[in-house]
Amino acid sequence: MDTIANSVSKLLTLFLTVLFVGSELTHCNVTYDRKSLLINGQRRILISGSIHYPRSTPEMWEDLIWKAKHGGLDVIDTYVFWDVHEPSPGNYDFEGRYDLVRFIKTVQKVGLYANLRIGPYVCAEWNFGGIPVWLKYVPGVSFRTDNEPFKAAMQGFTQKIVQMMKSEKLFQSQGGPIILSQIENEYGPESRGAAGRAYVNWAASMAVGLGTGVPWVMCKENDAPDPVINSCNGFYCDDFSPNKPYKPSMWTETWSGWFTEFGGPIHQRPVEDLSFAVARFIQKGGSYVNYYMYHGGTNFGRSAGGPFITTSYDYDAPIDEYGLIRQPKYSHLKELHKAIKRCEHALVSLDPTVLSLGTLLQAHVFSSGTGTCAAFLANYNAQSAATVTFNNRHYDLPPWSISILPDCKIDVFNTAKVRVQPSQVKMLPVKPKLFSWESYDEDLSSLAESSRITAPGLLEQLNVTRDTSDYLWYITSVDISSSESFLRGGQKPSINVQSAGHAVHVFVNGQFSGSAFGTREQRSCTYNGPVDLRAGANKIALLSVTVGLQNVGRHYETWEAGITGPVLLHGLDQGQKDLTWNKWSYKVGLRGEAMNLVSPNGVSSVDWVQESQATQSRSQLKWYKAYFDAPGGKEPLALDLESMGKGQVWINGQSIGRYWMAYAKGDCNSCTYSGTFRPVKCQLGCGQPTQRWYHVPRSWLKPTKNLIVVFEELGGNPWKISLVKRVAHTPAVHGQ
Ligand code: GAL
């Protein structure tokens, strides 16, 4: 068996070598065998971390990557986000935060390797899973299956990215930092069938055919076709094995925390458990670990997926959203990486012998018998500590922990013995503490008249907006007879609006009636409330709002949003009146968006009203603007939006993201590190707004006269918005 495996492995090496010879420059080749990736012929244990370039700013990248290097990482992993690079077919954008080449070159400058996860489907809590919305409207398209229009588009983009990397000489085979690429993402068994299989085979050979000279991986794809490597994603990776004996055991997503949804709590993953999971994977022969995320960052603009993913993508990662080191996670993992690296030679050259040291107690020993020896001692018991005897020495193992002995004698690290204090983070006010606002009421007066789309019945939201805005107005008119009894003091009629999501604000004759919001579990929502109708024509205007497009699920591209109906009036003399099949007019986006009020160029297109805290009117949909000078210092900045409702903020024309003071529901009971981790286990912030602070990148500010524009949907109070700086203090590491 082993001989067959060896021959296949040799053939693969030959195959990859042939690819390199074909490339103009022959530098370090990357191959693999059953133990690990081989860089220039050397087997390696590699520690990687995900940092997604559009989730921070180019000005932050180098610092983040240096911090990753100091944290003991070898590789930086990023997805490539197709939707931002190709906003319309054939029009590309690789500027600013989308400057992928600059990002990869920064990784190279710092001296790390890169894993380029092209996808191009990425999931990632990113809008529409990273696939551009226009692709949904290519005739006959069906995502991620054996479908010619989809495959043609996917191939076009993948080729474009590979070509771009090649021409910048960024693959390791050309002397660049990229040692690995990913095609597809978590193409699970649920999407299978013959068409699914054909698609996976096609994707693999399309990718390999691009001749990058570095291996390809398909994460969470158990049957990855040769020579593509299958890999594991999850909180743990214990049951994983490569689908062929000559492939290495790789963990492409080691979830370091979890993402946040508006209305949900913050999820934390204790570092004791995270490091336990990593040590457990390595002791089983795993040779590649990637923290998803190492720095989560921010979902700027409308990039958050969803629905309902927050603007913060902090992820409880070792480097926090703002780029500050999070303790004890960062340093404890750094110690883990050091301990693992001390075992590297034994790990890559030997297979472990597994010894029982008692109930739920094990040793994994990598011993050559002639000197090289490393051992991992594990206590899987979630409740009790144990003292074990190994090679005549005694070792104390806390519950749910692993000790690492790089020489089979001294335990240099235990996953549950954390020697670092937690960072103490403060959000401190800076000048200008408060802003001096001017306002503009979103104009609802001529909505129907300015609409260019009308239809009998209700249209699906994305079909109309193509996601050029979160907002779509549905407008209709209803005639009420002067004989209706409610007009003479009877009970008011009510309106019932059924929406596929994600939120709706109801206006009758220009007056706000109420709102309804979906949740991530149940995207749809229903509004039901009394309405003020008058005799004659009444204008019903429904503002339907998306909060990030679906990024995951079987054929998620077909999932609907917007008012799907029915829309019913109740309580009229005739009983119920169905407006669903009325003539509806549609208006994409807000007036303020059309006039580009958010940008320094468009801001003067309306007459703003000077506001004072005392006199301000609280109309429902309102724009605010103010100017401010950049505060001194270097600390990261944020806006405290606790007094606001829901909307979006722009600084000097750039959107810092959606905000929403949705209060966190959850169970914030105590959190223990031991035992199998699930996101429900360690929740924080119950009963508080899920996200109160919004990152303002320093590099977006000028010294003076910065324009801040806010669009508020729920009548929030801007007078309490303040700018704060984030300060993290970390006490010294014990014993160092
Ligand atoms: C994974 C997926 C990632 C991300 C993660 C959850 O399954 O591959 O892209 O969505 O889940 O944060």
C-beta separation of 121 from 174 below 8 A: no
Q: Do 607 and 681 sit in the same domain of this protein?
A: yes
Q: Do 542 and 487 sit in the same domain of this protein?
A: yes
Q: Which of 543, 569, 589 is the last residue of a domain?
A: 589
Residue position matching structure tokens 């001296």: 111
Domain contains 110:
yes
Query: How remote is the CA of residue 124 from the centroid of ligand 1, in Å?
Result: 5
C-beta separation of 304 from 49 below 8 A: no
| Residue 729 confidence (pLDDT) | 87
Domain contains 86:
yes
| Residue 616 confidence (pLDDT) | 63
Atom of ligand 1 nearest to the CA of 123: 9
Domain contains 251:
no
Looking at the DSSP assignment, which residues form a beta bridge with residue 494? Answer: 530, 570
Atom of ligand 1 nearest to the CA of 305: 10
Calculate the average pLDDT of the chain.
Answer: 93
Query: How remote is the CA of residue 186 from the centroid of ligand 1, in Å?
Result: 8
Could you tell me the pLDDT band of residue 39, with boundaries at 50, 70 and 90? Answer: very high
Query: In the chain, what percentage of residues exceed pLDDT 70?
Result: 94
Could you tell me the pLDDT band of residue 327, with boundaries at 50, 70 and 90? Answer: very high
Q: Is 391 helix (H, G, I), strand (E, B) or coil?
A: coil
Which residues lie below 8 Å from residue 192, measured CB to CB, with a gap of 6+?
none
Query: How remote is the CA of residue 252 from the centroid of ligand 1, in Å?
Result: 11
Query: How remote is the CA of residue 370 from the centroid of ligand 1, in Å?
Result: 43
Integer-rounded Cα Rg, in Å, for the chain is 28
Q: Do 573 and 488 sit in the same domain of this protein?
A: yes
The mean pLDDT value for 286-299 works out to 98
Answer whether residue 614 shows pLDDT above 90: no
- Helix boundaries (H) for 586-637: 591-594
Q: What b/e sequence results for 564-590 when a residue is b if at least 16 CB atoms lie within 10 Å of its CB, and e otherwise?
A: bbebbbebbeeeebebbebebbbbbeb
Domain contains 91:
yes
pLDDT tens, residue by residue, 390-449: 999 999 999 999 999 999 999 999 999 999 999 999 999 998 778 999 999 998 888 878
In this predicted structure, which of 235-244, 516-525, 570-579, 593-602 has the lowest mean pLDDT? Answer: 516-525
| Residue 615 confidence (pLDDT) | 65
The mean pLDDT value for 365-382 works out to 96
Which residues lie below 8 Å from residue 349, measured CB to CB, with a gap of 6+?
35, 43, 368, 372
Answer whether residue 17 shows pLDDT above 60: no
Q: What b/e sequence results for 233-270 when a residue is b if at least 16 CB atoms lie within 10 Å of its CB, and e otherwise?
A: bbbbbeebebbbebbbbbbbbbbbbbbbbbbbbbbbbb
pLDDT tens, residue by residue, 618-650: 678 999 999 999 999 999 999 999 999 999 999
Domain contains 25:
no
The mean pLDDT value for 301-311 works out to 96
* Interatomic CA distance for residues 104 and 165, integer angstroms: 9
- pTM (predicted TM-score): 0.95
Q: How would you classify the pairing of strands 693-696 and 637-640?
A: antiparallel
Q: Do 224 and 149 sit in the same domain of this protein?
A: yes
Please give the backbone phi and psi of residue 681, each rounded to the nearest 5 degrees, phi first: -70, -45
- CATH number of the domain bearing residue 579: 2.60.120.260
Q: Do 217 and 338 sit in the same domain of this protein?
A: no
Looking at per-residue pLDDT, the higher value among 619 and 328 belongs to 328
Q: Do 45 and 177 sit in the same domain of this protein?
A: yes
Could you tell me the pLDDT band of residue 232, with boundaries at 50, 70 and 90? Answer: very high
The Cβ-side half-sphere exposure at 446, using a 13 Å CA radius, reads: 4
Cα 271 to Cα 335, 417, 418, 422, 454: the distances in Å are: 12, 10, 8, 11, 55
Could you tell me the pLDDT band of residue 16, with boundaries at 50, 70 and 90? Answer: very low
| Residue 259 confidence (pLDDT) | 98
Q: Which of 589, 605, 624 is the last residue of a domain?
A: 589
Domain contains 51:
yes
The number of beta carbons lying within 10 Å of the beta carbon of residue 610 is: 9
- Helix boundaries (H) for 39-136: 58-70, 82-85, 100-110
pLDDT tens, residue by residue, 678-718: 999 999 999 999 999 999 999 999 999 999 999 999 999 99
User: Is there a catalytic annotation at residue 186?
Assistant: yes
Q: Do 565 and 622 sit in the same domain of this protein?
A: no
pLDDT tens, residue by residue, 96-129: 999 999 999 999 999 999 999 999 999 999 999 9
Looking at the DSSP assignment, which residues form a beta bridge with residue 199? Answer: none
Q: Do 77 and 163 sit in the same domain of this protein?
A: yes
C-beta separation of 82 from 157 below 8 A: yes
* Interatomic CA distance for residues 706 and 426, integer angstroms: 24
Q: Whose CA is nearest to atom 5 of ligand 1?
A: 124
Q: Do 236 and 90 sit in the same domain of this protein?
A: yes
Looking at per-residue pLDDT, the higher value among 266 and 452 belongs to 266
Domain count, the chain: 4
Q: Do 567 and 678 sit in the same domain of this protein?
A: no
| Residue 22 confidence (pLDDT) | 38
pLDDT tens, residue by residue, 55-112: 999 999 999 999 999 999 999 999 999 999 999 999 999 999 999 999 999 999 999 9
Burial class of residue 699 (count of CB atoms within 10 Å of its CB; 0-12, 13-18, 19+): exposed
Mutate to test the pocket of ligand 1, among 51, 125, 269 (most ligand atoms within 8 A of CB): 125
Q: Which of 589, 624, 654 is the last residue of a domain?
A: 589
Q: Do 630 and 717 sit in the same domain of this protein?
A: yes
Distance of CA 548 to the CA centre of its chain: 11
| Residue 519 confidence (pLDDT) | 84
User: Is there a catalytic annotation at residue 449?
Assistant: no
Give me the domain span that covers residue 671. 424-440+596-729
C-beta separation of 641 from 694 below 8 A: yes
| Residue 3 confidence (pLDDT) | 45
- CATH number of the domain bearing residue 337: 2.60.40
Atom of ligand 1 nearest to the CA of 124: 9
| Residue 18 confidence (pLDDT) | 41
Domain contains 316:
no
The mean pLDDT value for 217-232 works out to 94
Domain contains 1:
no
Question: In 163-228, which ranges are E strands?
Answer: 178-183, 216-219
Q: Do 447 and 407 sit in the same domain of this protein?
A: no
Residues touching ligand 1 (Cβ under 6 Å) are: 122-125, 185-186, 233, 253, 259
